[in-house]
Amino acid sequence: MRVIRRWIAWLVLVTAALLVPAAATAQGGKVLDARRLETIRGQMEKGQGLFVAGDYEAAAKVFEQGYADNPYPAFLFNAGVAYQKLGRLDDAITKFRAYVAADPSAPDRAKVEERIAKLSAARAPTPPPTLGDAGAGDAGDGGLGDAGAGDGGAALPPPVPTLPPDITANMKSLVIVETEPPGAPIHLFEKTRDSAAPFRRGAENSGWREVVSRPSPVSLSLDVGDYHLVIDRYRDFNPTDTAIRIEPGRVFHFRANLSQGDFMGFLRVTANVEGAEIRLDDKDRKRPRWGRSPHGELVARGEHTVLVEAPGFQPLFRKVEVKQAQEVDLTVKLVRVGFGYLRINANAPEIKVEVDGKAVGVWRSGEVPLETKQDAGDHHLVIRADGYKTYDGMVKVPKGQTLPVHAEMIPTYPRGAAWTQAIIGAAFIGAGTYLGIKSNQLHSELEADRKAGVLESDDERIKRGRLFAIGADAGFAIGGVLAVLATVNFIKDPLPDSGAHVDRPVEFGAPSRKAAALRRRRQLAGPSFDLTPALGPAGGGLFIGGRF
């Protein structure tokens, strides 16, 4: 039985020994991505801002939420400081104890435990006064004997620990150290004397003390002060080091690229065009893009050239200086180019396009829309199609964008009836003219015979002449009516003029909003059957179509 107990006790000790370092380095097991680092930094700085503004309760809530989202012990300590300022000593003690439990190897563990002890003593209830050996009769001094000085005096409660005047100096900062490759030995030294000389790797360094010695990556909760970070020789990589100045309530991210023997800084580039391509130190565009706006990554310290470009905008170059562990925000504003494109199609089988009197191309049904590059501004657009009315109008080309134009071509009004009426009317007028001439000839002959006295009353020419005269009058009347109708039909045009639907401008290479919406509807819709009327120069009809 004793042997079993010994084995159980031994297993408990081994498990505890394994869990403690795991808790201390839980956050250092993987490299932080930029998005998560931004979240951590935002929570820490928001909490510190509320603390400095005097809103301690809100600051404590932010720090607690920060730890819930990203369990770094610095959040716990700062929440404890906020509760101490509120006088909520129980909550403060709970957070400080949680801080020690989360990071048992913290450099300031002894100080935090001392702080917990003082707060615990301060919250202890005051014991009731007791009578000394002199008892109540020893009142000649006007008190309870040797109060507070002897064994019988009243015990006074210890004073509540107060924060120093610089309240932000109580806030811890989160320091994350990573190496590429990971696993390199990391040593952190704290400056303990203001007059100490600058730290030198390999020297005695009086006035400095080592507070951390761990393999990377590590996360540390540090007080305000001067530190020096040393990374020892690792594998085939040379050692490197850097000075660190810790400010209160901040997140510092150090990443050392051992192959370059240097520490890195964080660069974030934001443009007024979301998705703009960003290139770093690649003005000739020979490497893959660094990212798309907004984008941020760790980069080597030093001067860098940033190229930001997007379709429809002028490329922009900027030089930026990034220091070690520094977070640099570069915000740029891209300016559109001075030209744009017209993207033209129509409902006609084939169209010919002119811009400012110059032919720019031909578009046929089934082809991609015709695109023509034009200077930004107003332009005269003419679209022609056989059998359709000509479109003639003005369009305004935007800067750095494409203007979709869909021509609604209207067929020319058919003139077949007018031509028929004109031809038939001309035939009637011609016939009337012929009959009129013949009627006049017969009238002249009959008049000559009448004067000669040889005209008979039943001469058949009299009846024939009358019929010719009536036919001539009818021909002129009918021909005149048809001529008027033909003229009206030649002039009349009940159909509207050809027009153009100008869509909202889109970015270079992007489909029009109407086309994109139609494509989305077709993707969401199932099989369909369409029956569409159509009107053309030669007549009308119905088109049947389907999609399966």
Q: Which residues contact 127 (CB under 8 A, 6 or more apart)?
A: 154, 155
Q: What pLDDT, in 10s, does the model give residues 268-300?
A: 899 999 889 999 999 899 988 888 888 887 788
Strand partners, 317: 307
CA distances to 39, 308, 543 from 35, in Å = 6, 21, 54
| Residue type for position 54 | G
Q: What pLDDT, in 10s, does the model give residues 162-178?
A: 554 444 557 888 888 88
| Residue type for position 342 | L
Alpha carbons 332 and 256: distance in angstroms, whole number: 28
Reference 247, options 195, 170, 324; nearest CA is 170
Q: Predicted confidence band at 218 (pLDDT cuts at 50, 70, 90)? A: confident
End-to-end CA distance of the chain: 79
Alpha carbons 311 and 283: distance in angstroms, whole number: 16
Name the average pLDDT for the chain: 79
Can you give the pLDDT at residue 517? 57
Q: What pLDDT, in 10s, does the model give residues 356-402?
A: 999 999 999 999 999 999 999 999 999 999 999 999 999 999 999 99
Of the candidate ranges 286-290, 481-485, 521-525, the one whose mean pLDDT is the lowest? 521-525
Can you give the pLDDT at residue 236? 73
Contact 295, 276 (CB under 8 A): no
Q: Classify 142 in phi/psi space as left (phi over 0), alpha (psi -120 to 50) or beta.
A: left
Distance of CA 91 to the CA centre of its chain: 41
Q: Which residues contact 447 (CB under 8 A, 6 or more apart)?
A: none
Q: Which residue has the tokens 């029956």?
A: 531
Alpha carbons 267 and 253: distance in angstroms, whole number: 12
Kindly report the pTM of this predicted structure. 0.48
Higher-confidence position of 547 and 405: 405
Q: Give me the count of residues in the chain.
A: 548
DSSP state of 366: T
Alpha carbons 250 and 224: distance in angstroms, whole number: 10
DSSP state of 311: T
Alpha carbons 391 and 407: distance in angstroms, whole number: 8
| Overall average pLDDT of the 483-504 stretch | 82
Secondary structure class of 123 (helix, strand, coil):
helix
3-state secondary structure 257-286: ECCCCEEEEEEEEEECCCCCEEEECCCCCC
Peptide bond preceding 217: is omega within 30 degrees of 0, i.e. cis?
yes
Contact 175, 246 (CB under 8 A): yes
Burial (Cβ within 10 Å: 0-12, 13-18, ≥19) of residue 32: buried
With residue 59 as reference, give the H or E element that holds it.
helix 56-69
Higher-confidence position of 448 and 134: 448
3-state secondary structure 474-497: HHHHHHHHHHHHHHHHHHCCCCCC
Residue 468 has pLDDT above 90, yes or no: no
C-beta atoms surrounding 162 within 10 Å:
8
Secondary structure class of 539 (helix, strand, coil):
strand
